[in-house]
Amino acid sequence: MKKHTLAFGLMAALGFSTTALAAGAAQSIHVYKSPTCGCCDDWIDHLKENGFEVEATNTNDMGRIKADAGLIAGLGSCHTAFVGDYVIEGHVPAEDIKRLISEAPQATGLSVPGMPMGSPGMEMGDRKDHYKVILFNEAGQTRIFSEHN
């Protein structure tokens, strides 16, 4: 009986540790951005305020980063990030990134094309333009993941 109890305890502990590690890994995000972009820094602050551990890399070759990430035409913005197996392009709200991680759809990632005013990192007083967060895959298919403002 004690062996079963010990085995169950070990499985529970290992399962908990694996879950905890997966959750921790999901909260780590690597952002590639231009060294001169202020809105990228503001978006990074937004991520940190929402519980993400952020690693930022300045680069003058964003085109290569976007191409290597499999970003499809029309979805580009100023910065590109990676969280888990997903690509995050542009000013995607932290809540949408968390939802993406939680739901884990078969997709390449999320994008907020352009730089809409009022999106995280693009705050300009009371101006809040309506914008869409787009889910995309490697086949070039897209769908609206969420809408804001």
Domain ranges in the chain? Answer: 27-148
Q: Which candidate, 10, 14, 18, places its Cα nearest to that of 2?
A: 10
Which pLDDT score, from 0 to 100, does residue 44 have? Answer: 98
Q: So what CATH class is 27-148? A: alpha beta
More confident residue, 86 or 21: 86
Q: pLDDT-derived band of residue 9, with 50, 70 and 90 as boundaries?
A: very low
DSSP conformation letters of 76-128: --S-EEEETTEEEEES--HHHHHHHHHH--SSSEEEE-S--TTSTT--BTTB-
More confident residue, 135 or 15: 135
